[in-house]
Amino acid sequence: MSGKAVLVIDMLNDFLKGSMKNERASKIISPLEKLLQAARAKAVPVIYCNDAHLKGIDKELLIWGEHALAGTEGAEVIAELKPLPGDYVIPKRRYSGFFQTALRLLLEELAIDTLIVTGLLVSICVRHTVADAFYRGYRIYIPGDAVEDLTEEAYQRGLDEMARLYAAQLTSVEEIIKGFAA
């Protein structure tokens, strides 16, 4: 194994424009556009991990309220970052992109050992996905300008914990793109 992939977590209408709207999140759209464009140009797989909740079943909805229900517009990736042909989309029903999804299978098939993790929210879905990635032995990079959270405190604490607990390397979109070229 020796490949990189970019994970894009929950950049969905409901999180940017809908029921879970978050003003801070909009500033990562443009860095993410650059990152995804560069990844595709270098044939680095782009993998979306998207909430697709089942109403009346997923307990997460009791905590957060209804959001990103499977099959609704709110559960679609925002227009600016729409998946393109050749990208991969993994629906998830829990915080982690790995839990009971096809992500692990896909990463094995693509021979990926390094994950560049982006999206929302640093202290929740990003963190749980990164924890599961660490348990499974992946090398993890997190560009700080391509992840966000509801508050500065949650953002900082989330990044700090992922660096400390899961050996995630904190970096930037610019540095990641330089790494693609190398």
3-class DSSP state for residue 139? strand
Q: Of residues 9, 14, 44, 51, which one binds Zn ion by CB under 5 A?
A: 51
Instruction: Pick out residues in 54-73 that bind Zn ion (CB under 5 A).
Output: 60
Under rule CB under 5 A, residue 14 binds Zn ion:
no
Annotated catalytic residue within 49, 125, 131, 177 = 125
Q: How far is CA 117 from the centre of its chain?
A: 5
Residue 28 or residue 121: which is nearer to Zn ion going by CB? 121
Query: Which residue has its beta carbon closest to Zn ion?
Result: 51
Separation of alpha carbons 36 and 47, rounded Å: 10
- Start-to-end Cα distance in the chain: 18
Is there a catalytic annotation at residue 49? no
Q: How far is the CB of 65 from Zn ion (least distance, A)?
A: 10
Side-chain-side CA neighbours of residue 172 (13 Å): 3
The binding track of 84-103 with respect to Zn ion, each residue x by CB under 5 A or -, is --------------------
Separation of alpha carbons 40 and 56, rounded Å: 37
List residues binding Zn ion (CB under 5 A): 51, 60
